[in-house]
Amino acid sequence: MSTFKIHTLGCGSAKPTLRHQPSSTVVDYRDNLFMIDCGEGAQLAFQRQRLKFSRLRHIFLTHLHGDHVLGLPGLVSTLGLSGAGGDLTIHTFAEGKKILQKIFYFFGGDSPLEVKFNVIEPEEAVILETKSLRVRTIPLHHRVPTVGYIFEEKEKPRHIKRDMIDFHQIPFSMINRIKEGADFMKPDGTIVPNERLTTPPSPSLSYAHISDTAYFPELAEKIGPVDLLFHETTYTEAHKNEAAPRGHSTAKEAAKVALESGAKRLLTGHYSSRYHDDSIFLKEALEIFPDVILNKEGLVTPLD
């Protein structure tokens, strides 16, 4: 069963349609839920996927356009009504904190939920670290300050060879150190190299979420190789002349970023309402990059 997966709640763009919901994605890492953007209806899509509100403790906003944030008042109100309490951290710019604090106070000032803010900047920075996961930002090119988020697993421990542990009578208290790469010294002073006691760790996984942005050549290097790249595909090449001035990308440009960054797979999304057949995004991206997933609401994409 996957321990690192992506739930798509909404993959439409600013103008509402009956086919797609506004932007919202949930990263499920070892049953800890991290939401990226919260467009209108996100809390209903969250429940349709049978996700648990009690496991949601971080929301990351890419920027302060309505189709990425207007679901927050309802979601936070519902979290308060659930009575679970605890805290919720929203990662956003200083302006976002100022606006959202007023909204939350007005609609839920007596909520048992404590909403905290981590003020970020449109820069390259690590903004969250847990024991096994790191989240960093990279600045994007949009009409307002915007960041992408990279979720990276930290290096995993090495795998113990149980038969060798038993053979060398290694005490339990040493196991964690050996998993971290330490050799073992026997009572007579003999050194048992770590390579005899363990096998290499499982690969660390990574996910990049690149929301609203115009294409720029440096982006791929800032992302780096990832197992899954979500990159907005608002337009097709037929409307390329509208993409950059509006701070957006075409499907081909997204595929180019995937290729240049060394991503293993590309996940499309943020479709403009003018298109009625999403398969054109897949077709265009596949001309550049070989492994493309056509996004849709309710899609669950495992990384492992």
CA distance 285 to 268: 9
Q: Return the CATH fold of 4-156+202-302.
A: Metallo-beta-lactamase; Chain A (3.60.15)
Got the DSSP string for 158-222?
PEE-HHHHHHTT--GGGHHHHHTT--EE-TTS-EE-HHHHEEPPPPPPEEEEE-S----TTHHHH
Question: Looking at residue 108, what is its pLDDT?
Answer: 67
| Per-residue pLDDT at 106 | 84
Please write the tens of the pLDDT for every residue from 182-209. Answer: 998 888 888 988 999 899 988 999 999 9
Alpha carbon 203 to its chain centroid, in Å, reads 18
* pLDDT, position 20: 96
Express each pLDDT in 97-156 by its tens digit: 999 999 988 876 667 888 999 999 999 999 999 999 999 999 999 999 999 999 999 998
Q: What is the pLDDT of residues 13-66, one digit of tens each?
A: 998 899 999 999 999 999 999 999 999 999 999 999 999 999 999 999 999 999
- The 10s digit of each residue's pLDDT in 212-251 is 999 999 999 999 999 999 999 999 999 999 999 999 999 9
Strands 191-192 and 184-185: antiparallel
Q: Is 163 a catalytic residue?
A: no
Domain spans in the chain, listed from the N-terminal domain onward:
4-156+202-302, 159-199
Q: Which residues fall within 8 angstroms of residue 83, CB to CB, at 6 or more apart?
A: 112
Of the residues 67, 212, 227, 278, only one is catalytic, namely 67
Q: Are 27 and 151 in contact (CB under 8 A)?
A: yes
Query: With 90 as the cut, is the pLDDT of residue 82 above it?
Result: no
How far does CA 124 lie from the centroid of its chain?
A: 16
Give 304's pLDDT tier (boundaries 50, 70, 90).
Answer: confident
Residue 207: predicted pLDDT: 98
Q: What mean pLDDT is predicted for residues 267-286?
A: 97
